[in-house]
Amino acid sequence: MNLLSLHPALRTLTSDYNCLKRQVQEFPFMLEKAIGEAKQEICQVISDVSSTNEELLRKYKREMNLRKKCHNELVRLKGNIRVFCRVRPVSQEEQDSADSKTMLSFDSEDDAVLYLCNKGKTMTFDLDKVFAPHATQEEVFQEVQSLVTSCIDGFNVCIFAYGQTGSGKTFTMEGVLDNPGINQRALRLLFSEVTDKLDWDYKSPSAWWRSTTRCCGTFWGKTPPISWTLS
Ligand SMILES: Nc1ncnc2c1ncn2[C@@H]1O[C@H](COP(=O)(O)OP(=O)(O)OP(=O)(O)O)[C@@H](O)[C@H]1O
Ligand SMILES: [Mg+2]
């Protein structure tokens, strides 16, 4: 091959080389520019998302306050002090005894009235609600579960059972292993509601009292009552 024919090829190669060299020199600036533009786009998207979030949070808080107001109004209308009566099933022993002559009856029209017929005399009791013997633990709990919401809203709430021995206080409040009572159901609901609100800070000093003529103490130890924070 002759040297003269190589000359144009060398010129082309030199020009390609210079072009590539320029591109390589410009590459860092191009890269920096591209990164800068991408950053700007990302910042814009983040700012859009955060302003949407702020808006949603504002609406959520407004709705929460509205819900709280409505709930409190409902609780106030229902009455801050409510008395329920739960009639437990008659035991075999009672069926055979003279006490079985004492008869309880219910009003099919009004679930807040209870009639007690004893020795020919009928007494009427007006309560907030009467639970018949077939009422389940779930039904009883449903009637008080709104108090858990009040508790989360910061109100002091107290639920207690009162009655003579064997009337069903422990069954209603503690329940049995496969059919828990109000205590367990309320705590389960309380913890699940609170866990759902992870953006909230909760401190729940709670005490669970079992008070009879014989014993008096907190369920979770004497002092201090349980305290926990979620953030
Ligand atoms: N609603 C109910 N359904 C079925 N069984 C019930 C119900 N209520 C109470 N019982 C049963 O009646 C019995 C007495 O109930 P419980 O022990 O709850 O009474 P108590 O009021 O706690 O009595 P004490 O004051 O002596 O502790 C238990 O065997 C309990 O399982
Ligand atoms: Mg008991």
Per-residue model confidence (pLDDT) at position 4: 73
Question: Which ligand 1 atom is the nearest neighbour of the CA of 171?
Answer: 18
Rg of the chain on CA atoms, in Å: 37
Per-residue model confidence (pLDDT) at position 9: 87
C-alpha 177/C-alpha 179 separation (Å) is: 6
> Among 228, 211, 158, 219, which Cα is nearest to 186's?
158
Pocket of ligand 1 (CB under 6 A): 88-89, 163, 165-171
Note whether 86 and 139 are within 8 A (CB).
no
Per-residue model confidence (pLDDT) at position 199: 66
Q: Which residues surround ligand 2, an ion (CB under 5 A)?
A: 169-170
Per-residue model confidence (pLDDT) at position 217: 38
**Domain boundaries of the chain, sorted by first residue:** 1-78, 82-134, 136-199
Per-residue model confidence (pLDDT) at position 91: 84
Residue nearest to atom 24 of ligand 1 (CA): 165
Q: Where are the beta strands (DSSP E) in 46-102?
A: 84-86
The segments of the chain whose pLDDT lies below 50 read 211-231
Give the containing element (helix H, strand E) for 157. Answer: none
Contacts of 118 (CB under 8 A, 6+ apart): 101, 102, 103
C-alpha 80/C-alpha 76 separation (Å) is: 6
Residue nearest to atom 23 of ligand 1 (CA): 166
- How much distance in Å is there from the Cα of 165 to the middle of ligand 2? 7
Per-residue model confidence (pLDDT) at position 204: 62
Ligand nearest the Cα atom of residue 87:
1
Per-residue model confidence (pLDDT) at position 215: 40
Count of other CB atoms within 10 angstroms of residue 212:
8
Per-residue model confidence (pLDDT) at position 226: 38
- How much distance in Å is there from the Cα of 169 to the middle of ligand 1? 6
Contacts of 183 (CB under 8 A, 6+ apart): 173, 174, 175, 208
Per-residue model confidence (pLDDT) at position 220: 41
C-alpha 131/C-alpha 113 separation (Å) is: 10
Per-residue model confidence (pLDDT) at position 209: 54
